[in-house]
Amino acid sequence: METENVIGVDFGRREIAKTSHKQGWDGYNLQQKRDKYSRRRPSLPKKASQGTRSTRRRCRQILKRLSGREKRFQNWVNHNISSVIIEQAKQTRSLIAMENLTGIRESTNQQPRNKQEKRRSNNWAFHQLRLFVEYKAIKEGVEVVAIPAAYTSKTCHKCKHLGVRSNKNFKCSNPECGWKGDADFNGAQVIKLWGCTVNQPRGSW
């Protein structure tokens, strides 16, 4: 496929995924569902070790079933997200630019955060989501490039200077630019810029 455009995809910060086309998958509703699964867990292992023999067996069965449901739910969400991204790439004849996998963990763990948020960012199956995108891309003839993750969340997509990121917001530190806006959107744009450079090894300078 002849590609002229690039879709940048930013994984795993405030949103599960955000594209440079301003499409995002908010983790909030999904997270509530996942929290529900994990909240029900702590009391069960206790019962599973203290109850009568049949209680113990039942608790083990419930625990097993919960983790199965949670996994299926995650599979389903990741399949949906990756399908939409691939479909968009096909329709716009774009290649997809994504961050290196190692970068996801580093960047989501960068700042000290509360336990719940840490569990969330580490738990979501970004690895799986990335694999789904790559797998479907091969199947559909869409090109994927990996982008070094080091500065994507700290770089301003307008002027390429460093900026400050706090949660959902990004602010460029360059006084002549001063771009402010959605941090995930900025991240996806920076990934897209990198993708464009990779995509045009001859033309750009």
Contact residues for Zn ion, defined by CB under 5 A = 156, 158-159, 172, 174, 177, 179
| Nearer residue to Zn ion within complex by CB, 118 or 180 | 180
Q: Which two tokens stand for residue 52?
A: 């009568």
Q: How far is the CB of 158 from Zn ion (least distance, A)?
A: 4
**Comparison of 7 and 156: residue with beta carbon closer to Zn ion:** 156
Q: How far is CA 126 from CA 37, 54, 79, 98, 103, in A?
A: 19, 37, 12, 12, 11
What is the closest distance, in whole angstroms, from the C-beta atom of residue 178 to Zn ion in the complex? Answer: 7
Nearest distance from C-beta of residue 165 to Zn ion, angstroms:
13
The least distance separating Zn ion from the CB of residue 179, rounded to whole angstroms, comes to: 4
Helices (H), 40-181: 43-50, 53-91, 101-109, 115-123, 126-140
Query: Which of residues 129 and 196 has its CB atom nearest to Zn ion in the complex?
Result: 196
User: Which is closer to Zn ion, CB of 37 or CB of 179?
Assistant: 179
Taking a C-beta distance cutoff of 8 angstroms, is the pair 95, 6 a contact?
yes
Contact present, 68 and 60 (Cβ < 8 Å): no
61 C-beta neighbours (distance < 10 Å), count: 11
